A and B are shown apart, each in its own frame.
Chain A
């Protein structure tokens, strides 16, 4: 038996490590995707005043603090049994959609994009954002940086800080926007919509017009038949901020639709001793291990999952592209993991349209932005769609609103089982007996988890440089048998 260890996996949300065991015939025996850390937020939030949690749980993730801020704020509303005024809800949703557009942008151009734009087996040194810029031109690189700058500017106006927002309180928000600020944000949103349209066109030109890429997307090594989860509005259309969680089965039929407060009837978590992260699964199906299919409770919560789980998009341009995707890929649901990239740019466009609609809503500059809670706080669940999956915050408090219990099921965590399965299947499909493990092969294995948006890769978007990678194949007693290095 040989062990291949990749440590640390870079460009991942949180620290990560992959172990690939090869048997004596040189075939993949098994793979383990380990998460080596735990910070313990659920326990140290106990004892805190519940209204502080939207400002504490942002620190779970500095890449998507907006998602934790919103899930936490909604859980606080529920704890206090208070409904924010319409203006407050719209301000939160405006912030959230602008965040979505910015977040999906960085993933598409800097993380997932290079594999397609530059090519999956292009030289590693080219397969990064600089390679993207070289391929598509400096103007596009500048646009991506401008998109990020503009979204961060809007987030600072609405959230008080561009990272770790502070403005949501139980019952509403701490500050509204002036008509001048609304005008300023509207100008940004108009720019965002154009950027969204441009990105869809870029995806068509670069990925979909290339048969090799379409074949790769549809190949079996990158496919799993699982359940899909996503938040939907009353018409079963995608909503990132509010609604019910809908789950469809591997055939695309509605399996469950639940309100945030009912999440414990629907989702449970399995633990393994070899990793700090738990594996969520559908409780009514059960944990059958790291396997797909209708009998396994493994589900996915990604942009593609949300499109599979919904009946459509709430805005016209995104809806047109939604129809196009399912038509092209052979109808719903789509199981091809790499199609998540297409779903992501559709969501990007949808988020820009929703943001524009919201900032043009006359109520957005309203001055009634908070309802002061007057009921005894008890317990509440808040759910939003984080870009990386359905995000659940569940709080219980004493009668003074001091937290007694916190349970969190976090975006990327939903996908821990499917990411592990995708790595395993790609490794089995790509590492063959008697064939050397090439650098290109390693990148293809990485593509399996990159589709899920390991979020720290966002960071690469403006950084020139190589992406060297060292992989050592060791014997059981640690002796290096083979070393593969890409520099």
Chain B
């Protein structure tokens, strides 16, 4: 088990890490997701011991490892920069940790060959083993760096954006291969990613880091379904979640949204909300476009733009000073400035605090059309 307790790291005036608490169980993959500059790499470097924290404690299997130098910690750290030996072959790079074991334990050459070949198969690199690093593409180098970590049986896996430079097809398969491998190894693993979606798909548990602090941690399903703050909701929602200012008024409660003349009756599903200003988060799936005049909970709005994906058309619609996104069938054409009618009835909404922290207050449903 890996535990980070109250880890702080300051660079001059800036709190790079403002008190990080994380627990990663054996065999668990924790995805650490957040925008660049949030502190993901710094957290990994502190956990690996190559960067010392100003405050806090790091425990591995209940032992304080803070005083143990990094080369004695038996950690497999995959750096975003790969840090490979350019003059060596792929095989020799991957075999390196076994030939120069920091633990001092010797590994037989036959065993080295067996392990490197096995890992190379997982990473689809069998044919590249004799190539030199300088002749490889970025994606291939990234796989060598991963391979070098996997050949060992370390105490900890720390993977810094391990698949960010691979093409789409390989990324899909490697997510699966890596997850299976790591589960079988049964060690704690932290996997960082700037991509919330990647975090959802690889994690047993996901922690979202923003400006040096963990804002939320939980299962992917939990984080996706109940984002703790506006920032978390933005990081994991695609298409982007619409955030509209509004106000909750009693009796009702009723939701008044800026730019919409009618109030909506709310039924609260989770949490609670006091009357007052709030921010409303609305995912693209919650709303639909309908025929004009078909419903009392529908309002008119103007198309800002449309985007196609292969699965749906994402229509951005202006509401007050903000906008929301709505899904329409694939390849339906919408023109900017075109008038459409948005159905709000039945929509699932997140209500966030209007203040600085913008934390989730409650989840609610706008009363379905026809029940007004």
- Do A and B assemble together? no
